[in-house]
């Protein structure tokens, strides 16, 4: 903690500095000032937690100094000193909420006790503020959660919480919902406290606020609100900071919903964000999704019919070149395809993975755990289409590797004079 001693009498200042063991009280730094103006300048730069000030000082009286300093350092505790006990100064001390009023000549024990009282008050104030901040955060999170439901379902509770938070929405308040979807929520959420605080500072710079809540462990919802529609530049800054905030915690997607006006329509923005997030599966990880961008990037290709049957035929025929072309074309069809739901494509890929198992069985190849449960588990763990498709490509190459090994074994087993057709060797 830091202490400022302001007194025009040098003997008083020196006596206070040298005669009291300030470190034993938890005071690490002691500053001095010889008049009110010097005290003000010193306080502005050093930001003391406690000020021990004479009332009568040149250039700026103790009362005038205290009035000015309370405007910029409202949490600083004041202790006044004076050899005068006139009513005017006493009333001013009370008005400025000074801890105490110490009369001169000073009793060092009285000064020490007064400073200790100031320290105790400061710690109590910090604890109270911390508790209030926690309660406010919990209330804010609850409000953010309620706004993920239609307003008319939770109107009474929403209105109650806005009053509790002293938030006043107008019909001209604009809302934009963001959702951050993480691959995993297995990390210490306390690590996000500082980035969250910085995020609030950034939003204040743009005259915006945020109501945030964590849902289903891996989803973070942010309702951004303000009295103006944020510009594209502002949205870009918000999205870049969210990417920076969550990048240390693994793969993620960020989706931005439509901007709406009025608290009754926040659910509309949130719902549009949820719908948009479904398309994240088909985009590159760690990217930001917005409807306009997706519409411009979306492919117009249609899903080929009979693709599963074609894939199995290519596998059984050991047609490696055409199989790789098939997989490349399949990727082009599904990547950035906003017309399909992830589960629809996962169903198709489940059947493609099953074709690998069927082919192994037809060719009597040894296989690892490739049952339906195993396939479903792998698909469920895939965070993106890229990941799922790459897994299919990898498993396909593993199949071809198994076929090559089998051919080599058969060619070794049979003599060169026995000319068996290549295709026949696969089914022996």
* Better pLDDT: 413 or 173: 173
pLDDT at 417 over 80: no
pLDDT at 88 over 70: no
CATH number at 147-295 = 3.30.70.1130
Question: Interior CA angle at 58 toward 57 and 61, to 5°?
Answer: 50
Q: Give the pair of three-digit tokens for residue 111.
A: 């000064």
- Computed over every residue of the chain, the mean pLDDT equals 84
Three-class DSSP category at 349: helix
DSSP conformation class of 231: P
- Homologous superfamily in CATH for domain 2-126: Response regulator (3.40.50.2300)
pLDDT at 98 over 70: no
Where residue 93 falls among pLDDT bands split at 50, 70, 90? low
Task: Report pLDDT digits (tens) over 301-360.
Answer: 555 667 889 999 999 999 999 999 999 999 988 888 777 788 889 999 999 999 998 998
CA-to-CA distance for 187 and 185, rounded, in angstroms?
Answer: 6
Work out the average pLDDT over 37-43.
Answer: 92
pLDDT of residue 419: 53
Where residue 128 falls among pLDDT bands split at 50, 70, 90? low
Task: Report pLDDT digits (tens) over 13-36.
Answer: 888 988 889 898 889 999 999 998
Instruction: Pick the closest to residue 397 from 352, 356, 427 (CA basis).
Output: 356
Task: Report pLDDT digits (tens) over 155-170.
Answer: 999 988 988 888 888 8
Work out the average pLDDT over 287-305.
Answer: 64
pLDDT of residue 182: 95
Task: Report pLDDT digits (tens) over 174-186.
Answer: 999 999 999 988 8
| 239 in Cβ contact with 206 (< 8 Å) | no
pLDDT at 368 over 60: no
| 323 in Cβ contact with 361 (< 8 Å) | no
Where residue 57 falls among pLDDT bands split at 50, 70, 90? confident
Cα distances (Å, whole numbers) of residue 95 to 70, 92, 175, 237: 11, 5, 42, 44
CA-to-CA distance for 274 and 256, rounded, in angstroms?
Answer: 9
Instruction: Pick the closest to residue 240 from 181, 292, 286, 297 (CA basis).
Output: 286
CA-to-CA distance for 225 and 261, rounded, in angstroms?
Answer: 9
pLDDT at 296 over 70: no
pTM: 0.63
pLDDT at 150 over 60: yes
CA-to-CA distance for 364 and 421, rounded, in angstroms?
Answer: 18
Work out the average pLDDT over 193-205.
Answer: 89
332, 337, 341, 347: CA torsion to nearest 10: -10
Query: Do 2-126 and 147-295 come out as alike in CATH topology?
Result: no
The ranges assigned to domains in the chain are 2-126, 147-295, 307-426
Work out the average pLDDT over 233-247.
Answer: 94
């Amino acid at each position: 903690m830091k202490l400022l001693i302001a007194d025009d009498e040098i003997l008083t200042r020196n006596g206070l500095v040298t005669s009291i063991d300030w470190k034993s009280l938890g005071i690490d730094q002691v500053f001095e000032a010889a008049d009110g103006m010097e005290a003000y300048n010193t306080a502005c730069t050093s930001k003391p937690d406690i000020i021990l000030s004479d009332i009568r000082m040149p250039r700026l009286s103790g009362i005038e100094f205290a009035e000015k300093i309370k405007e910029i350092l409202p949490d600083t505790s004041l202790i006044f000193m004076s050899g005068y006990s006139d009513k005017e100064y006493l009333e001013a001390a009370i008005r400025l909420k000074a801890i105490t009023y110490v009369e001169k000549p000073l009793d060092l024990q009285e000064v020490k006790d007064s400073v200790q009282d100031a320290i105790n008050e400061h710690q109590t104030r910090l604890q109270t503020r911390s508790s209030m901040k926690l309660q406010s955060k919990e209330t804010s999170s609850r409000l953010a959660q309620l706004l993920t439901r239609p307003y008319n379902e939770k109107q009474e509770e929403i209105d109650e919480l806005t009053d509790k938070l002293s938030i006043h929405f107008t019909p001209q308040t604009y809302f934009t919902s963001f959702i951050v979807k993480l691959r995993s929520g297995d990390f210490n959420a306390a690590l996000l406290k500082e980035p969250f605080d910085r995020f609030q500072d950034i939003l204040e710079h743009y005259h915006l606020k945020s109501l945030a809540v964590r849902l289903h462990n891996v989803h973070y919802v942010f309702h951004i609100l303000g009295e103006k529609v944020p510009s594209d530049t502002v949205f870009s800054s918000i999205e870049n900071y969210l990417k920076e905030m969550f990048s240390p915690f693994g793969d993620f997607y960020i989706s931005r919903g439509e901007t709406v006006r009025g608290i009754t329509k926040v659910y509309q923005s949130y719902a549009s964000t949820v719908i948009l997030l479904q398309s994240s599966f088909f985009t590159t990880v760690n990217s930001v999704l917005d409807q306009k961008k997706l519409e411009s990037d979306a492919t117009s290709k249609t899903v080929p019919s009979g693709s599963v049957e074609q894939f199995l035929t290519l596998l059984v025929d050991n047609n490696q070149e055409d199989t790789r072309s098939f997989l490349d074309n399949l990727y082009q069809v599904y990547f950035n395809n906003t017309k399909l739901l992830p589960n629809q494509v996962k169903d198709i890929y489940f059947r493609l993975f099953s074709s690998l198992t069927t082919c192994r069985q037809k060719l009597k190849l040894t296989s690892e755990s490739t049952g339906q449960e195993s396939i479903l588990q792998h698909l469920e763990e895939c965070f993106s289409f890229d990941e799922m498709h790459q897994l299919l490509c990898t498993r396909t190459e593993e199949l071809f590797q198994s076929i090559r090994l089998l051919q080599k074994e058969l060619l070794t087993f049979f003599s060169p004079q026995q000319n068996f057709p290549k295709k026949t060797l696969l089914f022996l």
